[in-house]
Amino acid sequence: MAFEATKRELGELYTFFRLLADGKVSLGTPQVRKDEAKCWPIAMVQREEHDGTRRYYIEQENVRIVSGTVEKTGTFTVADKEEQNIPREDFGGAAEVILELLKTTAGSDTIEVPEGLEGFLDAINIYDLEAKTEDRTDFSVAFWHAEAPLTGFNVRCRLSTMNPLLDGGRTANLKLEQSGIKFATPTVNKINALPESPTEVTERMLMIERLGGVLKYSDVADRVFRCNLLMIDLHFPRMLAEMVRMMHLDGISRVSELTERIKEINPLKIKDELINKHAFYEFKMKQFLLALALGMRPAKIYNGTDSAVEGVLLVNAEGEVLCYHKSERQVFADFLYRNTRFEKGSVDKDKYGFLEKENGVYYFKLNVKIGLTKK
């Protein structure tokens, strides 16, 4: 009996199969194209399944699948070791089937998996379409030779919905203090009672302004996220708050475009030389995006050390898999800067977009959510 899978699950599976079939991956450019001069050979891919670790060794014609328990040394315990040999072209064929499904299935985010693909998944014992790992990697890759250190990757596919780089929920809220005029309780209730809509946060902010109120950056709601942002720069939270405010008020979402506006407004009141010659605002934003891509999370203490995630494998609209790795730091940073946007989280779930009273002062929270663009 056929089963359904989400496009995101199939996007990860497509990437995995494509790497096994090709035995290599091209590095990406900031413009999301192949760098024709840089292609890294893949010797082995390690993936977690419900019953343990699997290693997929890429050989001349076949993929040798070794299943079992991995010790801390990185080797399998002999007692649990099992092997399979599957032709590489079979993985290529499965990848093409998935790509066709992703490209041609419109509307619903779930797709019915055809029997042929289901049979192949059963044959190679894949039951978890999205790998479940504790270190937030989707799978790990050994480049050049099978004994090379493993490199952990996150997978993003432009043919499906993509997990955001920053989706901290209510821990990623920024607080704006409401001043300018003291609102009576009925006025506050009227502002907060504006109907639910895609622009409700914008409408409340505009109503506050019309009634003589001023919203000025005050603080980061969560102390851990505050400290994480201060690691980028002591003034970075204020810069970020201005970008989120402009996203709501001006309808601009791309990080690169918002950064250009920030340069004009200059909320940190820094010198022109620092803005234009040293590209201060761009540099700080790129630092932040790299930190997010390599493991910074709002509710976890960040000390500048990268996590197990060392890069991103991105499937573009044509189905090409592109590799962005921290060893190519400038390219990775430029890619993130050009291809990320601010997004709107759920107002109810993330608890923002309303006037709330704390210690006699009204605050208006904005939420920070950042994801990769579709194009």
Is residue 114 a part of any domain in this protein? yes
Digit-coded pLDDT (tens) for 126-173: 888 877 777 789 999 999 998 999 999 999 999 988 999 998 789 999
Residue 224: is its pLDDT beyond 80? Answer: yes
Is residue 320 a part of any domain in this protein? no
**Sign of the C-alpha dihedral, residues 284, 290, 295, 298?**
positive
Tell me: do 183 and 122 sit in the same domain: no
Tell me: do 248 and 361 sit in the same domain: yes
Tell me: do 152 and 172 sit in the same domain: no
Tell me: do 235 and 275 sit in the same domain: yes
Residue 185: is its pLDDT beyond 50? Answer: yes
Cα separation of 329 and 286, whole Å? 10
Tell me: do 140 and 191 sit in the same domain: no
Tell me: do 224 and 193 sit in the same domain: yes
- The residues with which 82 forms a beta bridge, in sequence order, are 67
Is residue 121 a part of any domain in this protein? yes
Tell me: do 148 and 193 sit in the same domain: no
Report the 3 state secondary structure along 9-59: HHHHHHHHHHHHHHCEEEEECCCCCEEEEEEEEEEEEEEEECCEEEEEEEC
Digit-coded pLDDT (tens) for 47-72: 988 878 999 999 999 999 998 765 55
List CB contacts of 168: < 8 A, sequence separation 6 or more: 222, 225, 297, 298, 299, 368, 369
How high is the pLDDT of residue 128? 81
Residue 106: is its pLDDT beyond 80? Answer: no
Residue 326: is its pLDDT beyond 80? Answer: yes
Tell me: do 188 and 147 sit in the same domain: no
Tell me: do 146 and 180 sit in the same domain: no
Is residue 311 a part of any domain in this protein? no
Domain around 107: 4-157
Digit-coded pLDDT (tens) for 10-30: 999 999 999 999 999 999 999
Contacts 24+ apart (CB under 8 A), 343-348: 343/164, 343/253, 343/369, 343/370, 343/371, 344/198, 344/201, 344/248, 344/369, 345/167, 345/169, 345/172, 345/369, 347/196, 347/200, 347/201
Of the ranges 2-6, 19-23, 260-264, 337-341, which one carries the lowest mean pLDDT score?
Answer: 2-6
Q: 218: which 2 tokens? A: 């005050």
Say which residue, 129 or 239, is predicted with more confidence: 239
Q: For the chain, give the mean pLDDT.
A: 92
**How many domains are contained in the chain?**
2
Number of Cβ within a 10 Å radius of residue 194: 17
